[in-house]
Structure 1
Amino acid sequence: MSEQNAERSEQAVGPIGLVRPLDASAPPTAPAPDETWHFGQVLKEDAEGRPVHEATAWVYHGEGNDGLVRPVLLADGFDSGHSSLDGLYDGLERGDYAFLGELRRRGRDVILLGWGDRSTSLLRNARFASEAILRAVAERRGGEPLVVGGFSMGGLVTRYALAKLEHQRIDHQTATYFSWDTPHRGAWVPIALQAFAHYLKQVNPYNKALSDQINSPASKQMLWRHIDTVQATAEAATEREEFLAELDRVGGWPQRPRRLAVANGRGDGSGNGVAAGAPALRSTGLVFPRTALHTQQEGSGAVVAELHALLGEDATVSTDDLPEFDGAPGGTLSSFGIAAAALNALPLASADAPVPTICFVPAVSAVSVRDLDTTELLHTDIGKTDPEESDFDDYLCASENEPHTKITRELGEWLIERF
């Protein structure tokens, strides 16, 4: 598989950070930061031969500031490989709403925290988040408290980092914690797509990128249900149970800061219109003839994938009593669409995706108001629930079900006003 095709396959899991469209060109070079902080060891060199550390913070001072005065730390999310300053800056500044620029215009110093390995354990990257928070405290001029949070996985990493600092009785001097479409109660990658990823690897070990990403530590920690092989039973991974236990050990949430959340999904219980049990991806090429993936439906023995390969054994994948996630209200991802594009890039393979886009992070997960155990819970009318039922002090759901971690004026302005 070429490097470009591997990248497309990896994206089918869905970067849980700032998502870029499949057809997006490489982002332009970001302006040079005012400061760059490195944490941990050097893992490798990037394409330009520069060292990639376990974590890196790129610091942009607010307008009128010649040092750290009013720090806001923004942590990157999940993907394969290391964080890209160009990608982060582009997503935060050049989309529908210039979130980064508006923070700086208001005198806020922005610390973009990226990871040397975005798929490693959340607990490992939380160690570097803690170091970045304490360095910001040490280098800040004056006594303005910090704002700390992140996008998708970045919201979980910073949540744990702040809670652990409090558990250790270390003063993080953070007044506001926030998360942007973070899967606090789990994210969803269809079991059909997970099975197909493992099937690709089983048929041809060179087509392993998507399977390896699904089986990475961070993915297992965040996915509500996971399978590590084609015929495995969908269940919470051991890594997820261990992460949740560790989070609970340090108190679950930071208690000192005000807690804010935004969700890229609707809050009125209205889904995205995807029907349960519908054909989602159909392979039409010679390599995977008659292979078909379906959206999730309830019930026992629900068939979600029919897998066939020219040079492999056939497999049928079914699930028992899983909620109908794909059509739920929440931040969306073109999971099946990206998977089809990856197949179309392979020799002698082709596919189409009748249902390219599905729910990825349910709104009830992003604002931590309900668990994800039933279809009814996924469609909770959050606006009619008691605000005390959420783990956040305040939150906002989007007016429409929109792409996961999309930076919109609606959500961005709401957050900045509360910072």
Structure 2
Amino acid sequence: MATAPNETWQLRNGTAWVFAAGERLSGPVVLAGDAGTDLEALTESLEDGPCAFLSELRARGRDLVLVGLPADAGISGDGGTVQEAVQRVIGETSGDTPLTVGGTGRGALAARYALASMEYMRLDHRTGTHFSHNGAVPDLDEEAELMRLGGRPRTPVFLRMLDGGAADGLGEDEADLTMAGEAAPAGSLFSKEYGSWLLDNLPR
């Protein structure tokens, strides 16, 4: 693999790869992959193609924490994995730059659940920006669980990226900012348009 993580975290129900720009985490981006996504493939999808997202983050002095989720866990289990990763990131981050937390597919849904759950429990997630990239549509039970927690996290700025013709179960007014664009080329997670937009909206 061309790009290897600096550190691997074994989480209770998943794994996280840490790509640090410096000796300590500072203003990191936590990105949860779709359920069952291999972390090596996810890393390559962020580096290959029109948007070398990981390299761009490092060039800006930012860190990336990729969270791998199992293929068959439910929303509470996946959300718990993302929450565990966020809490570890908080414990290992220096400075006061807010976190960016989100995901793609089922990972986006898990991140939404994790942050909403932390707010419900009055836990400080220190997140300034939350993003959803082609988020999975929750089933009826998952939607009910999300609504119990308030639907989505309320304190971060909520960025929504959705390919044309795709659905994520979110209403038009639920995100603070929405970008609808073309799907990335095969093998890439973000199009150049999506990647640049997300980078430009990182909290400072």
Taking structure 1 as the reference length, the TM-score comes to: 0.46
The residue matched to 1:142 in structure 2 has which SS?
A: coil
1:110 aligns with 2:64: yes
> CA offsets per residue over residues 89-115 of structure 1, 9 Å max, x none?
111101221111111111111001112
Task: Note if 1:35 corresponds to 2:30.
Answer: no
The answer on 1:259 being equivalent to 2:158 is: yes
Given that 1:177 and 1:259 are in contact with CA atoms closer than 8 Å, whether structure 2 keeps it comes out as yes
Residue 149 of structure 1: how far off its partner (Å):
0.2
Structure 1 unmatched ranges of 5 or more: 1-28, 41-53, 187-221, 223-239, 266-329, 331-360, 370-388
CA distance in 2, matches of 1:244, 1:403: 31
Contact 1:178 1:260 in 2 (8 A): yes
Match for residue 60 of structure 1 among 19, 24, 28: 19
Cα deviation for residue 181 of structure 1 reads 1.2
Judge conservation of contact 1:56–1:113 (CA < 8 Å) in 2: yes
Would the aligned equivalents of 1:68 and 1:109 in 2 still touch at CA under 8 Å? Answer: yes
Report the equivalent of 2:146: 247
Deviation at 1:84, TM superposition (A): 2.0
Deviation at 1:78, TM superposition (A): 2.6
Counterparts of 2:63 and 2:174, CA distance in 1: 27
RMSD: 1.8
Structure exhibiting the larger radius of gyration computed from Cα positions = 1
Q: Give the % identical residues.
A: 38
Q: 1:84 to 1:163 in 2, by over 3 A?
A: same
Q: Give the number of equivalent residue pairs.
A: 201
1:4-403 matches, within 5 Å, as: 29-40=1-12, 54-62=13-21, 65-79=22-36, 83-115=37-69, 117-183=70-136, 186=137, 222=138, 240-265=139-164, 330=165, 361-362=166-167, 365=168, 368-369=170-171, 389-398=172-181, 400=182
Deviation at 1:403, TM superposition (A): 6.7
Letter in structure 1 aligned against 2:6: D
Question: More relative contact order in 1 or in 2 (CA 8 Å, sep 6+)?
Answer: 2
In the alignment, is the contact (CA less than 8 A) between 1:30 and 1:89 conserved in 2?
no
Partner letter of residue 73 of structure 1? V
> Distance in 1 between the 2:184 and 2:68 partners?
24
Q: One-letter code of the match for 1:175? A: G
Q: Is contact 1:264-1:403 (8 Å) kept?
A: no
Does the 8 Å contact 1:30/1:85 carry over to 2? Answer: no
> SS of the residue aligned with 2:196?
helix
**Deviation by residue 1:291-345 (Cα, 9 ceiling, x = unmatched):** xxxxxxxxxxxxxxxxxxxxxxxxxxxxxxxxxxxxxxx2xxxxxxxxxxxxxxx
Contact 1:30 1:86 in 2 (8 A): no
